[in-house]
Amino acid sequence: MATVTKTEVHHESKEAIYLRVFIALGVLTLIEVIIGSQLDTDIFKVVLLMTLAVGKAALVAAVFMHIKYDKNPKLIIGFSFILPLLGGLFLTLTLWKDYRA
């Protein structure tokens, strides 16, 4: 049975990480386009698209703004993206009735 030492740990290059994020952003954008063109339920579409947009923003911030290397990245991402998402969803749901009238 082989043992792994600290020197044998595989480190992924920055280019590979950036490529994976680029592909993930492309896939998420494709999903957004499909959702935007296929779903008829307006409020569900808005909530789903807002959630995907916040996920993409969190991915960009974590990798390209190097938040994932900070001491407490979950706290930063939580306050930077989750709270605005919840606020946006609250405003959307609150104003939806007036918009539809």
The answer to whether 56 and 28 are in contact (CB under 8 A) is: yes
Classify each residue of 40-50 as buried b or exposed e, where b means 16 or more C-beta atoms within 10 Å of its C-beta: eeeeeebbbee
pLDDT of residue 33: 92
Question: Tens digits of per-residue pLDDT, 38-84?
Answer: 877 777 787 788 888 888 888 887 787 776 666 777 777 677 777 77
**Domain ranges for the chain:** 41-101
The residues near 53 (Cβ < 8 Å, ≥ 6 apart) are 32
Separation of alpha carbons 24 and 77, rounded Å: 18
Question: Tens digits of per-residue pLDDT, 4-32?
Answer: 555 544 567 888 888 999 999 999 999 99
